[in-house]
Structure formats: structure tokens, C-alpha cells
Structure 1
Amino acid sequence: MDVSICITTYKHEKYIAQCLESIFAQEFNGTYEIIVCNDNSPDETEAVILEIINTHPKGNTVKYFKNVPNLGYVKNTLFSFSKALGKYIAILDGDDYWIDPSKLQQQFDFLETHLDFAGIGADSLVIYEDVNIESHRFSNHAGDILDKNDLTDPKICQTSTFFFRKSILKEDFPTEIISADRCLYLLTGCFGKIKILPEQMSTYRQFSASISKNVTDEVMKKDFVIIPFIKKYGPDYSIFKLKGYFYYTLMSYSNKITKLNFYKASTGYFFIMSCQNFP
């Protein structure tokens, strides 16, 4: 099996069909499987998936799993990876969809011929589902080649464009975190460079609930366990950059942050940034 396309879905009854159709539209010469992991959606997501499996000409490429009870986003993502048989994993969230039919082929061909790269992403188009905001590009690094020194920058690529070697995954990948994507990019960087294609190859749906960042600082602080995990496999990562990165996300992405935690995060961030030239 060349590629496993891993989809996590929860309450995506309006979007999962478009997500799957965008995979079926791929012009890919290799072999692929679609791993769909439904985290016990209370809506009709399951019914839509089963209808596609039973009636679509390519429905037999879908392997469907349902978690009862639900696992949560990070554990469900890792569960989907554990079911993958492919040499490579491509990620696609259940409410996103691919817009370039050559995405899989381009990314597969690149990693097959560039053995010093461990992953490849692409730019994407951010669309707003229930709020009046104009669509725009996502990545700050479209067209770039990234190494460890770059992977603590914000907006590397959107998760639904990412394609990586399955061999980089580790059994001790932390589960009690919020930012599985950040952890995955950093882990990928432990084993090679990452290429970001300049083309927009996926959409990224944003909703008003996600824009408001309904996550507290206490929850975001869980991501600090990512640092020792990454240092274990990438000891040459700068500890200053890693700490600065997670202080920045704590300040930027928390919806409710106490004055004390904001003071600690901001003080830590600016101190780390002032020291980042040290190894």
C-alpha cells in the first residue's frame, strides 16, 4: 500500500461527502486506502459514510471505524494512524476537502525521489462557513523548504495538506495535548526536511466557534509536554525556540487566560526570544 489517507470526523454530516469525493477525484497512479475514524458523532455522519461505502464505485477503498465512547481529537487522530497500512500518510479532516486532483501524486512523487525529506505540505484556502470573512491563503511558508530552525514558526501548513512518511511515528506520541498538528510537524522535522508546495491544494473550513478560540490557558498548557518528547527524538532542536513557540501559542490561542498565566507566558516568551541565539 502506497498511501493511507487518514480522516477524523465528528459532527460532519454536511461535509464528509465532499471530503470523500475530493479523494475519489485524485489522479493517482499508486495504491491508496481511506481510513475514516468517526468519533461517535451524534448526527448523521455515520449514515452518510455508510451510504458512500455501499453505493460509490470507489467505496471499497474506505475502511470505517467508529469510537464508542468517543476518544477526543488527538487520540482519534493517532488511532487513525495506527490503522494505516501505507508507506505514507496523508491527513484530511472530515470537514475539509482537497481542491487539486494532482495533490497525492505530486506529494508521493516528491518523497519517493527526495529521501532527505520526511514530509510535504502545501498551501490551502481558508474559507469561513458561518461568518462574513473573505477567504484567504493559509501558509506563511508556501514554496519553502523547512528544517528544524523553521518549524517553530506559525502557520507552517494546514493539517489537511500534510503528507509524511509513516515510519516517523512514535508510540509515545503524547495524547493529552491540544496541538497534535504542531507536535507532528516538529516530530517530522526530527527525521528530515519538510517541503511546502506553493499551490493551494486543500480548503480549510473555519467556523465562528473556532475563530473565537474557545480553549482556556489551562488546557493550552498541556502542550508543554510536547517539548521533552521532541527533544527525545530531535536533541538538536533549540530548547529556546521550542519553549518560545509554546509560550507564544499559550498567549495567542487561549480564549480565557488569567492575568498570572499571561504574565508568566509573556515574560517567558520575551525572555526566550532574547536568548534564542544561544544553542
Structure 2
Amino acid sequence: MIWKYQIYLKFKLLNIMDVSICITTYKHEKYIKECLESIFSQEFNGEYEIIICNDNSPDNTEAIIHEIITTHPKGSKVKYYKNTPNLGYVKNTLYSFSKASGKYISILDGDDYWINPLKLQKQYDFLETNPDFSGVGTDSKVIYEELSKPSHNFSNHLDQELTKDNLTDLNICQTSTFFFRKNILKPDFPKDIISADRCLYLLAGCYGKIKVLPEQMSTYRQFGASISKNVTYDMMKKDFEIVPFIKKYNSDYKSSKLKSYFYYTLMTYSNVITKFNFYKAATGYFFNNVLSKFSLNPIKLYLAIKWSKHTINQKYQIKVENNSFI
């Protein structure tokens, strides 16, 4: 126990935080106070800092943050930065990481908030006692800000331990629940991409497993005008830069599986797309998905081909129903 206390003192003398909570914000005047209050209400026995990177919001987001810093009893925990001009979501996220001094980083988007006061403590304790894990997420509550749709849970992987073999699955955990070891970050993390969260999860898989705790510990606000709802084909195809980046740090990732994953997202999430580009993405998905699951067993090969064709047809029909083709 003496050596643990000595290490603890060393960290304090070096001013090394246990956790850096990184918040990116843009036009969040309606939500940023609730976001910060959910952090201040955490029951955490370690030291944390709050890194806020405001991407040049044109509203009152900055004024609200300054008021909280100067009036809230825990306002001194906030380190505030403003980008002029704005950087964009991915670059702003990476900028917030660069300002973090914590052993761990916890992400929270400025329009979300935590709903479990033990979130930080549970995730911190988990990584402290499980060195073979590089990150830990939780379930989250999806709420619709502009629609009368009922809320629901986000993750499809509750209470699971995920490895690089299944980190290309969908709905692993929402960004505002993710807590990870800062030392997994790399200086060449791709900046000209859309899906920083997907890249981060895959990078974490290079260095360990990811645990998804079953409790809902954060909200995830959905907006009709959010970036994720308005991406184009040309925007989404930038995510292919992630493939060589991930392969650089763990060559055990199968290239065909990574490419299949990003062709799937290109085919699925591009809400402005021509039929020609849809079929290009579908062809890439089909080829790489079958290749990643290739087997000399004829039944398994048949099922891989059948499922790939089914997925393409399903996504095509969704595009037709949503009038996504141009």
C-alpha cells in the first residue's frame, strides 16, 4: 500500500490528472449548462479536469461557459479554448485531446449530458483493474429533440467485451460514453475524415479490448439537422483514410474487413448520393465482405454471398423510401 501512495503523490506533484473530460461544443447555448452540471454532479474520488473546445460558436455558448467558470464552485476545473476560425468537428475533437493532461480521457459532446453520477468512477475503476482493456463505454439513452419519437437505448453490445474482430460492428457505444487510455492516441490520427469515433474505437482495438457497461450513463440527442444526418457520398468516402492508419498500428486487422466496414457506411450513411455511386459502394461492400468471410465450406460461402446481397437490397430500398438518390 505504501508504494501505491507514493505513486499517487508523484502524480499529484507532477500535476497529472486522473481523467480529462473533453468537450467539443458548437452552438450549444441551450445545452452546455446541463452538460457541465452533469459532470459536476459526478461522485468521483480522483482528480479531473474539463477541457472545453468551442469551435467559434456564433451564439451565447461562450458567455454561458464563462459564467459557469466564474460562479460555479467547481468552475475552476474548466479549461476553456475557443477556435477562431472554427476547425470542424474532427479537428476540434483532436485539439481537445491535445490539451488533456489526464491518464484517461472521457468524451462528452456539448449537447449531451451524463445521467449516472457514478459513470466516471465505474469506468476509471474498470480500466485501473483491467490492464488488457484500452477503453470502456456504456449504454446511452437516445432522445429526439425535434421529433415525437420515444427514447431508446443505443448500444447493441451491452455488457460485452469487444476485440478488434468485432469493433467493426454497429452501435458499439455512443461517443459521449467512451472512456479510454490517453496513451493510445497517435500524432498522425487522420484529420480529414467524418467518423472520428469509428477511428478511435478501431485504434483502441489495436492496444486492447473494449468493454461496454450495460447501464445507461449518458444521453444522446438526435437532431434532424445534425452532421450525421446530412453527410454526402464525397464526405463519407474520406473515412477510407482510416484503413491504412489502423493497419499501421496493428497489422492483424484484416484489410478486407475494414474496407467492408467503410463501404457499408458509405452505402448506408450517405444521405445525398447518386445511384451510380451507391452501386460503386455496394460493389466494394459485397466484394470485401465476402472476402473477409471467405471459406472453403460451400454453405458458409453461400451464406456470406446471400447476406451481402440482402444487405445491399435492403439499403437500396431505404434510400428509395427516404428520397436519398439524386
The TM-score by the shorter chain falls in which range? Answer: over 0.9
CA-CA distance at 1:210 after TM superposition: 2.9
Aligned to 2:22: 6
Letter in 1 for 2:218: S
Q: Distance in 1 between matches of 2:27 and 2:226?
A: 14
Letter in 2 for 1:19: C
CA-CA distance at 1:257 after TM superposition: 1.0
Letter in 1 for 2:280: K
1:169 equivalent in alignment to 2:185: yes
Aligned to 1:223: 239
Q: Which residue of the other structure, out of 71, 88, 99, is the alignment partner of 2:104?
A: 88
More divergent stretch after superposition (124-133 vs 265-274): 265-274
Percent sequence identity over matched residues?
Answer: 75
CA-CA distance at 1:189 after TM superposition: 0.4
Give the 3-state SS of the residue equivalent to 2:81 in structure 1.
strand
CA-CA distance at 1:113 after TM superposition: 0.6
Aligned to 1:192: 208
Q: Distance in 1 between matches of 2:292 and 2:226?
A: 31
Structure with greater contact order relative to length (CA < 8 Å, sep ≥ 6) = 1
Q: Distance in 2 between matches of 1:147 and 1:19?
A: 30
On the 8 A contact 1:122/1:199 being kept in 2, the answer is: yes
CA-CA distance at 1:267 after TM superposition: 1.0
Q: Distance in 2 between matches of 1:250 and 1:88?
A: 31
Task: List alignment gaps of at least 5 residues for structure 2.
Answer: 1-16, 296-326
1:66 equivalent in alignment to 2:82: yes
* Alignment map for 1:41-60 (pairs within 5 Å): 41-60=57-76
More divergent stretch after superposition (99-108 vs 266-275): 266-275
CA-CA distance at 1:209 after TM superposition: 1.5
Letter in 1 for 2:194: I
1:138 equivalent in alignment to 2:150: no
Letter in 2 for 1:244: S
Letter in 2 for 1:70: N
Question: Highest CA radius of gyration, 1 or 2?
Answer: 2
Q: Distance in 2 between matches of 1:143 and 1:94?
A: 26
* Alignment map for 1:1-279 (pairs within 5 Å): 1-210=17-226, 213-278=229-294
Letter in 2 for 1:124: S
CA-CA distance at 1:211 after TM superposition: 8.6
Q: Residues 162-198 of structure 1, C-alpha deviation per residue, up to 9 Å, x if partnerless?
A: 0000000000000000000000000000000000000
- RMSD over equivalenced CA pairs, Å: 1.1
Aligned to 2:323: none
Task: List alignment gaps of at least 5 residues for structure 1.
Answer: none
Q: Distance in 1 between matches of 2:23 and 2:171?
A: 21
Q: Residues 107-158 of structure 1, C-alpha deviation per residue, up to 9 Å, x if partnerless?
A: 0000001000000000000000011111000001111000001100111100
Q: Residues 227-259 of structure 1, C-alpha deviation per residue, up to 9 Å, x if partnerless?
A: 000000011011111001000100111111122
Q: Structure 2 length as normaliser, TM-score?
A: 0.84
Give the 3-state SS of the residue equivalent to 2:102 in structure 1.
coil
Q: Structure 1 length as normaliser, TM-score?
A: 0.98
On the 8 A contact 1:190/1:234 being kept in 2, the answer is: yes
Letter in 1 for 2:240: F
Give the 3-state SS of the residue equivalent to 1:63 in structure 2.
strand
On the 8 A contact 1:121/1:195 being kept in 2, the answer is: yes
On the 8 A contact 1:86/1:166 being kept in 2, the answer is: yes
On the 8 A contact 1:212/1:255 being kept in 2, the answer is: no
CA-CA distance at 1:206 after TM superposition: 0.3
CA pair 175-88 structure 1, distance change in 2 beyond 3 A: same
Q: Distance in 1 between matches of 2:158 and 2:63?
A: 37
CA pair 116-233 structure 1, distance change in 2 beyond 3 A: same
Give the 3-state SS of the residue equivalent to 1:70 in structure 2.
coil
CA-CA distance at 1:212 after TM superposition: 7.7
Q: Distance in 1 between matches of 2:229 and 2:218?
A: 22
